[in-house]
Structure 1
Amino acid sequence: MTDAGLVLEGVSAAYRDARVLHRLDLEVHRGELLVVLGPSGAGKSTLLRLVAGLHPVAEGRVLIQGRDVTTLRPGRRNVSMVFQSYALFPHLTALDNITFGLEVRDVSRAAARERARAAAASVGCAHLLDRRPGQLSGGERQRVALARALVREPDLFLFDEPLSNLDPELRVETRGELKALHARLGVTSVHVTHDQTEALVLADRIAVLRDGRLEQLGTPDEIWRSPATVFVARFVGSPAMNLVPAGGPVAPEGMPEALGPERLLGFRPEAVRLDPTGSGAPATVERVDVVGEDAHAYLRLADHLIVARVPASARPAPGDPAEVAVRWADVHVFDAGTGQRVPL
């Protein structure tokens, strides 16, 4: 535990009578950027609010750098949180927004402003310090919010969907800046998002949350290449992973014959080949979505619809017949009842 920046031990949380987090165990390494990924209602924001002290712990403990903060007020946890809405005071300048948290902690005005200017420079908003939030774009407000978090020199950064209000181009740019900022500062960080691309790009490790429970914890590569459950396999990936019953219309090349219908076969769209030799499973092209250089071909095989990622220049047309082939090396196997990955 000495290397842990944040530890949740059997943590549960509830709203009224509804349990939101269910005895969650999670350890974030000191200096790590952990991304909590999941759909709406998974409990992601509740987890952050609980760590920050903004939501009570129903059971379990929260430790930050080995210190039990479960019952401490937010101001005593030395945590900085960046909200989706930025939460800037509209009547204050950017400089005063950044220094506000310091001045209420009895840091002198001169020292607070010096630290604020340094923090603003580090996130590229030093030229905006005289403006009020209403005079700033969404990306500029986000930078001010980041500077306000940085200036406190916290033990832990918490980011609650901080990029969701930005347009796509700015989101990509700010995502890169966040990653570089974390690499430079090395402060333990927990970043919540429902965006799988954001998670895969930013994270040292990803915690996939579903209905208040941890589905999988691993590096981006582990989450992508070795999904632990059907939920993770379907949630991470666009288009989603194909899932068909073993013994169904797709028989991957080299597949063991012992697999029964209680198993599900999962394979990503890029693993699907449209085999021109006639040796694959017969299918019909239902629709084709062109996405830049790629095309997503949706194929009907008996009662199943699967998707193949193919070059846009070689895409089939709706209504075309096709032969579908998949290599066994590209297949994941899951238990159809539990949804858990089956080791082979």
Structure 2
Amino acid sequence: MSEPGLVLDGVSAAYRSATVLHEVDLTVRRGELLVVLGPSGAGKSTVLRVVAGLEPVTGGRIRIAGRDVTGDRPGRRNVSMVFQSYALFPHLSVAENIAFGLEVRDTPRAVARERARVAAESVGCAALLDRRPGQLSGGERQRVALARALVREPDVFLLDEPLSNLDLALRVEMRAELRALHDRVGATMVHVTHDQTEALVLADRIAVLRDGRIEQVGTPDEIWRTPASTFVARFVGSPAMNLLPADGPVRPAGSPPPGAPVTESGRLDLGFRPEAVTLGGADAAGTPATVERVDVVGEDAYAYLRLAGGEPVVARVPAARRPDRGAAVRLTVRWADVHVFHAGSGRRYAP
């Protein structure tokens, strides 16, 4: 069995007196595209910076391709990092920007330029080699930054929110290109983002980070279908998953999970996504609610409801059958679509 591409073993890091990473354990398989997902301040960029050697660790070890690099300076780690700001040299051509890292390591210029050309072709910017960064669009600059990282043939690529400066349409395009690039080169990549859609589309696996701690690591399907905590359940999904006390007003249809003490006050919370909610008229079966507002997004509509006890619920319904604002409705949810969490810890319920 081959060595993992990257291992963080109990890694902690601090900024001044504040601990930013708390004994993080994370293994990235060789050739895997792992996305680190979390809100601002979760420690996502710090993960990349300690791997790259740009920030020191206060505890734990880091291994890259089987080598312990914890004490190595950045130049000895054989990683490439793509930043949110692209960080291109404005006075150099695209070809010179891509080849720069090779030339400062005394690679013969002809060899460096040829490798730069091959890297540029791989990311679709070979026609731009004679231009300067100021002559490029945001998407073109991003391709150049990727080519510059690719040309070094590193053990690990570190991508720090590289798509966040692009407009939505270009982000979608570059997302697909980045995934295709990974599949072509088979490189080990760690991609940081706060964008859940980006994570779900790009990742082989996702590591959800919260306050410097790993909440859950899993495939996009596992993160979506079996969130390990209420934090993951509500962070991944827009609008967020509905969350109500198990002894509250909503009584799901069907049979609850075996052994779940769902009627005991304060013990458990129930989570269900907006698409799991079925709405009926005021005379239908189910829990009564009032429609406070409706947002239409193409073929879908999101109805923001208020239950009699004041609890909010969001339902996704076809736009053509959306209820009116102020309408009295009744909602139903099936147990098959419900996630059960411990109310105190927020962790997923396990019988």
Query: Shift of the alpha carbon at 1:249?
Result: 1.2
TM-score (norm 1): 0.98
In structure 2, the residue matched to 1:183 is 183
In structure 2, the residue matched to 1:303 is 310
Structure 1 segments unaligned to the other structure (5+ residues): none
CA offsets, 1:55-97, max 9 Å, x none? 1011100000110000111111110110000011111111111
Matched residue SS, 2:86: coil
User: Which amino acid letter does the alignment assign opposite residue 97 of structure 1?
Assistant: N
Query: Quick one: distance in 2 between partners of 1:45 and 1:91?
Result: 28
**Of 300, 309, 312, which aligns to 1:294?**
300
**Of 251, 266, 269, which aligns to 1:264?**
269
Query: Shift of the alpha carbon at 1:140?
Result: 0.5
User: Which amino acid letter does the alignment assign opposite residue 17 of structure 2?
Assistant: D
In structure 2, the residue matched to 1:312 is 319
In structure 1, the residue matched to 2:250 is 250
Matched residue SS, 2:189: strand
Query: Quick one: distance in 2 between partners of 1:117 and 1:234?
Result: 44
Runs (4+) of structure 1 exceeding 6 A deviation are: none
Counterpart contact for 1:163–1:171, Cα < 8 Å: yes
Matched residue SS, 1:23: strand
Query: Shift of the alpha carbon at 1:255?
Result: 4.6
User: Which amino acid letter does the alignment assign opposite residue 269 of structure 2?
Assistant: L
Query: Quick one: distance in 2 between partners of 1:99 and 1:65?
Result: 24
User: Which amino acid letter does the alignment assign opposite residue 348 of structure 2?
Assistant: R
CA offsets, 1:182-215, max 9 Å, x none? 0111111100000000000000000000000000
Q: List aligned pairs for 1:1-344, cutoff 5 A.
A: 2-256=2-256, 258-259=261-262, 260-261=264-265, 262-276=267-281, 278-301=284-307, 302-344=309-351
Query: Quick one: distance in 1 between partners of 2:106 and 2:206?
Result: 37
User: Which amino acid letter does the alignment assign opposite residue 214 of structure 1?
Assistant: I
Query: Quick one: distance in 2 between partners of 1:50 and 1:247?
Result: 45
CA offsets, 1:16-56, max 9 Å, x none? 01000000000011110000000000000000010001010
Query: Shift of the alpha carbon at 1:275?
Result: 2.8
Query: Quick one: distance in 2 between partners of 1:201 and 1:188?
Result: 17
TM-score (norm 2): 0.96
Query: Shift of the alpha carbon at 1:278?
Result: 1.5
Query: Quick one: distance in 2 between partners of 1:74 and 1:292?
Result: 48
Query: Quick one: distance in 2 between partners of 1:7 and 1:283?
Result: 49
User: Which amino acid letter does the alignment assign opposite residue 274 of structure 2?
Assistant: P
User: Which amino acid letter does the alignment assign opposite residue 271 of structure 2?
Assistant: G
Query: Shift of the alpha carbon at 1:250?
Result: 0.5
Query: Quick one: distance in 1 between partners of 2:131 and 2:73?
Result: 32
Counterpart contact for 1:2–1:66, Cα < 8 Å: no
Matched residue SS, 2:209: strand
User: Which amino acid letter does the alignment assign opposite residue 34 of structure 2?
Assistant: L
Matched residue SS, 1:57: coil
Query: Quick one: distance in 1 between partners of 2:116 and 2:174?
Result: 20
Query: Quick one: distance in 2 between partners of 1:100 and 1:111?
Result: 12
